[in-house]
């Protein structure tokens, strides 16, 4: 069973969207919600909570539920979350944030795995693997915040992608491109094993700021208006603020989050200085952001989304070559292009369920 806390009309939408997955008990206030957690045997498996409640804050209620019932998955939802709200949701251990208005398919994709008690949801499986790797490689106790950021990254991905594999591909491709660059003697001293490990996580967080962009903009077919594109561009700065919030609470520097801050903020900067948000040019753009920027563009062109038809591998390479020295670091393009088949094969391997790349 699932508990929905918020306005009656919103709860009705949640109940309708999840009718085939689980019964939904709707309540309006924090006080009513907490009554559902008095008896351990009757506690709901999942709770969806409005940020704004008539008798208090949804974040406060989430805190209480996480204390009373740690096994209950808590999602927060609202129309326009602030960076402070996302930061607090991250620190309270919430499973994610859902932006309104809801899209049924996105809502179902996020909730269904958490209602399956026989298997772990994909985001949590990914987080466990990342935690193990981070412990072995760094010996630092930063796993909780990194895992929370990764959960937000997966949430952003599910809202912006039909395949749900963009995060995995960008992470795998970025690490492979950096490894090939090292082999070619390009930035070989900077690209250490620790650098590759950090890049694998930092690159997966590149679009984390899209959790604050409205669904109707992210999933709009066709060209965005100038005002809509301006809102999309904000995801770099918003994502950077979220990562900075996590970094600010660390006693010592975390190299993964340090790199993530660079990637999240600067992966849409362009070699000729025409990118955003800071108009950086050439070597002013951090190396990790130059790598992820090329890979993000490559995967976007090879993906079929509501606003973007998939391009062929040949057309994609032609576009990357055309934009070399304009959008992309020309030396990185020269390393990437001869290894196209390697990345195509990796893409097919990572996306077996959708068979997107044929």
Q: Which residues are the active-site residues?
A: 210
SS3 86: helix
Instruction: In whole angstroms, give the CA distance from residue 61 to residue 107.
Output: 21
Instruction: In whole angstroms, give the CA distance from residue 280 to residue 291.
Output: 15
Structure tokens at 140: 């630092």
Kindly list the distances between the CA atom of residue 243 and the CA atoms of 148, 195, 246, in Å, as whole numbers in the listed order: 10, 18, 5
Kindly list the distances between the CA atom of residue 280 and the CA atoms of 276, 289, 329, in Å, as whole numbers in the listed order: 8, 11, 12
Instruction: In whole angstroms, give the CA distance from residue 71 to residue 202.
Output: 28
Dihedral angle sign, alpha carbons of residues 6, 3, 90, 295: negative
Cα(first)–Cα(last) distance of the chain, in Å? 40
Give 150-164 as a DSSP string: HHHHHHHHHHH-SSS
Tell which residue, 64, 52, 63, 57, has the closest CA to residue 7: 52
Instruction: In whole angstroms, give the CA distance from residue 26 to residue 5.
Output: 6
Instruction: In whole angstroms, give the CA distance from residue 21 to residue 278.
Output: 45
């Amino acid at each position: 069973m699932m508990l929905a806390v918020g306005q009656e009309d919103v709860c009705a939408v949640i109940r309708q969207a999840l009718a085939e997955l689980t019964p939904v008990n709707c309540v309006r206030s924090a006080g009513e919600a907490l009554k559902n957690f008095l008896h351990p045997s009757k506690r709901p498996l999942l709770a969806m909570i409005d940020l704004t409640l008539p008798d208090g804050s949804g974040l406060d209620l989430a805190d209480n539920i996480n204390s009373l019932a740690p096994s209950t998955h808590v999602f927060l939802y609202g129309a326009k979350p602030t960076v402070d709200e996302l930061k607090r949701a991250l620190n309270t251990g919430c499973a994610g944030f859902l932006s309104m208005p809801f899209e049924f398919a996105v809502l179902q994709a996020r909730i269904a795995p958490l209602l399956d008690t026989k298997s772990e949801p994909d985001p949590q499986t990914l987080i466990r693997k990342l935690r193990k790797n981070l412990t072995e490689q760094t010996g630092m106790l930063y796993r909780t915040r990194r895992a929370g950021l990764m959960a937000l990254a997966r949430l952003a991905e599910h809202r912006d992608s039909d395949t749900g594999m963009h995060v995995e591909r960008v992470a795998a491709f970025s690490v492979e491109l950096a490894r090939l660059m090292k082999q070619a003697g390009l930035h070989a001293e900077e690209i250490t094993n620790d650098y590759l490990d950090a890049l694998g996580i930092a690159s997966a967080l590149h679009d984390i700021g899209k959790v604050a962009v409205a669904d109707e903009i992210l999933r709009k077919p066709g060209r965005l208006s100038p005002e809509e594109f301006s809102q999309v561009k904000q995801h770099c700065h918003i994502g950077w603020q979220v990562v900075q919030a996590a970094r600010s609470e660390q006693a010592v520097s975390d190299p993964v989050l340090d790199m993530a801050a660079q990637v999240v903020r600067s992966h849409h900067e362009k070699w000729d200085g025409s990118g955003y948000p800071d108009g950086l040019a050439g070597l002013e753009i951090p190396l990790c952001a130059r790598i992820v920027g090329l890979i993000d563009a490559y995967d976007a062109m090879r993906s079929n989304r509501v606003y973007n038809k998939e391009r062929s591998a040949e057309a994609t390479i032609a576009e990357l070559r055309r934009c070399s020295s304009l959008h992309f670091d020309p030396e990185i393009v020269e390393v990437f292009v001869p290894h196209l088949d390697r990345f195509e094969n990796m893409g097919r391997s990572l996306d077996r369920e959708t068979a997107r790349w044929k």
